[in-house]
């Protein structure tokens, strides 16, 4: 017999510290795989990593933010279809810019756009909800500021 559902059964639960950190770590780990694909000139691999793992982690973070803003009463919908309604016009444009992936250069820019967007939202959640981001993130950001993005990721993940 199928499980009975209603609107409340689809609400995104409020995140706790462990869940937040786990998703942040997963995001950056998978972003490293995109960089590996880019460095190896493998467009298909880089795009699949971006589409299957990295962007979905951005959606998880955006759903966390929305459910916090709505006191645990947010339904993200299948594949995040209701997340767009929670975004500002600027954020919608930022998200749209992550879908240009027909060349290595475009995929690199899409990744950079996702990294920038993710950083802003994760810092906001960390600050507003008093949740700590993993310590490794500080090191990544320091290196990110010290050298070009692709060189940074080559140092860290390749």
Give the up-direction half-sphere exposure of residue 55: CA atoms within 13 A in the CB hemisphere. Answer: 22
In a domain, 148, yes or no: yes
Domain that holds residue 78: 7-157
In the chain, the number of structural domains is 1
Give tens-digit pLDDT for 56-73.
Answer: 999 999 999 999 999 888
Identify whether 2 is part of a domain. Answer: no
Mean model confidence pLDDT for the chain: 86
Q: What is the pLDDT of residue 79?
A: 86
CATH number at residue 140: 1.20.120.330
pLDDT of residue 151: 58
Least confident of 71-75, 84-88, 92-96: 71-75
Supply 140's token pair: 């990544």
Give the residue-averaged pLDDT of 123-136. Answer: 85
**What is the reported pLDDT for 141?**
66
pLDDT at 158 over 50: no
Q: State yes or no: pLDDT of 9 exceeds 90.
A: no
| Domain-embedded: residue 81 | yes
Q: What would the mean pLDDT of 94-114 be, rounded to a whole number? A: 95
In a domain, 1, yes or no: no
Q: pLDDT-derived band of residue 134, with 50, 70 and 90 as boundaries?
A: confident
Distance of CA 138 to the CA centre of its chain: 16
d(CA 42, CA 92): 28
- Output b/e per residue, 103-127; b: 16+ Cβ within 10 A: ebeebbebbebbbebbbebbeebbe
pLDDT tens readout for residues 11-42: 888 889 999 999 999 999 899 899 889 989 99
- Give the model's pLDDT for residue 125: 92
State the Rg of the chain over Cα: 16
């Amino acid at each position: 017999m199928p499980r009975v559902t209603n609107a409340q059964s689809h609400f995104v639960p409020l995140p706790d510290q462990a869940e937040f950190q786990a998703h942040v770590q997963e995001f950056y780990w998978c972003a490293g795989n995109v960089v590996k694909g880019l460095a190896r000139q493998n467009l298909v691999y880089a795009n699949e990593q971006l589409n299957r793992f990295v962007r979905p982690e951005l959606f998880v973070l955006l759903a966390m933010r929305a459910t916090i803003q709505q006191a645990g009463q947010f339904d993200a919908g299948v594949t995040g279809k209701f997340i767009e309604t929670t975004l500002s016009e600027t954020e919608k444009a930022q998200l749209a810019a992550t879908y240009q992936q027909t060349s290595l250069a475009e995929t690199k820019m899409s990744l950079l756009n996702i990294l920038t967007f993710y950083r802003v939202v994760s810092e906001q959640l960390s600050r507003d909800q008093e949740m700590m981001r993993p310590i490794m993130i500080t090191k990544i950001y320091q290196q990110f500021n010290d050298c070009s993005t692709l060189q940074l990721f080559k140092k860290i993940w390749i």
